[in-house]
Amino acid sequence: MELTIQPSKVSNSTVVITGSKSESNRLLLLQALFPQLEIQNLSNSDDSQLMQKALNQSSNLVDIHHAGTAMRFLTAYFASKPNNEVTLTGSKRMKERPIKILVDALKSLGCDISYIENEGFPPLKITGKKWTNNKVVLKANVSSQYISALLLTAAKSEKGLTLVLEGEITSVPYIKMTLNLLEQIGVDSSFEGNQIKVIPNVNSIADKTLVVESDWSSASYYFSIVALSELGTEITLSSYKEDSLQGDCILAKIYEQFGVSTVFKSNTITLKKVSESYQPVKLDLINAPDIAQTIAVTALVLGVECHMVGLHTLKIKETDRLVALKTEIEKLGGEVQIDNKSLLLKPHAVLKSNISIATYNDHRMAMAFAPIALKVPVTIEDAMVVSKSYPTFWEDLKAIGFKLTII
């Protein structure tokens, strides 16, 4: 399905956003390990629904389609579940996304995993076993999802886990989110220097209800919308915490540079356009790479130079997001330079109209480029790809004033 969005103006609005995909997927895995846990405000994203379905199904063939987090978390979960045989597969793109680092780590713990097609990539044949070792050494710049997958499954291990990370650690907030959730259910851990420990749990996990905070990466599109709107425009989002576990909460600080203020109240944030004075923006997004696309589009439309580093994990997402960003921004008339871990957007004054934006099976490409319609008409190809993380995105945009037409 293609969507055409005509130049729009948003009204002051309130939007309720579904639970964080990152928190939801972690808690779903913990709930599978400890069924006495209950979860409220789960994400309604495709990824979380696929994760839930995979954890509850009895079939030995598990297909998680495009859900990269689910692939990583479920690899660790099934590999650590004794007397359990599973074939874990996914979409064509999923079969191109590397998983060797996680598989090697699990094998070093005593797990039995083999590749069905290409070495280092899904699909995987997994025979679940108890861990026979409790120490793993990983390069610190790997995806934090590999690290979180190991930490979460270690919560059930009799020996716990010592994880040593070599080099500069990527996405620290996501690791801390995982450890905080473990702490909330009663599993002790430590994170000192480049060593993380999950302590073997000697006590039973108590019954507990955990409430998922709304997704900050989904909020990013509203930060962009407010940044591109008239002075005084306000949008209120719920439910959010000032002391969020999510790395993407750095949005509130970043978007001050695009003239947006953020006011925290009880479980809500109100975004307001307060300034139209901008300076070149330089950001290190090593702890929050998923918001890079949104920021790049905001800077493009405002004509602000933007240099972002720490983006090396974007090359192994749903698509190579750096190449995709460069391609689509240049179609709109922008000038972009990229390498393996950074993007430089030159200031640009005039946007081309009626451009068709390719989305590359990537939900964030569709949502990040939608706010362009506040200035010029634009078409979003394969628009329903947003269901991966935010199924009601287009309905919510229509409700705040966007003029959408299905082609």
pLDDT in tens, 148-207: 999 999 999 999 999 999 998 877 889 999 999 999 999 999 999 999 999 977 678 889
Q: What is the pLDDT of residues 278-312, one digit of tens each?
A: 999 999 999 899 999 999 999 999 999 999 999 98
| Percent above pLDDT 70 for the chain | 99
Largest CA distance in the chain: 63
Structural domains of the chain, with CATH:
3-18+213-406 (3.65.10.10), 21-211 (3.65.10.10)
CB of 50 closer than 8 Å to CB of 72 = no
Q: Hey, is 323 helix, strand or coil? A: helix
Structure confidence by residue, pLDDT tens digits, 380-396: 999 999 998 899 999 99
113, 116, 108: which is closest to 164 by C-alpha?
108
**Token pair for 311:** 């983006």
Query: Would you tell me how many other CB atoms lie within 10 Å of the CB of residue 372?
Result: 25
Query: What is the spatial distance between Cα 269 and Cα 168, in angstroms, rounded to a whole number?
Result: 32
Model confidence band, residue 88 (pLDDT cutoffs 50, 70, 90) = very high
Q: Which positions are annotated as active-site residues?
A: 290
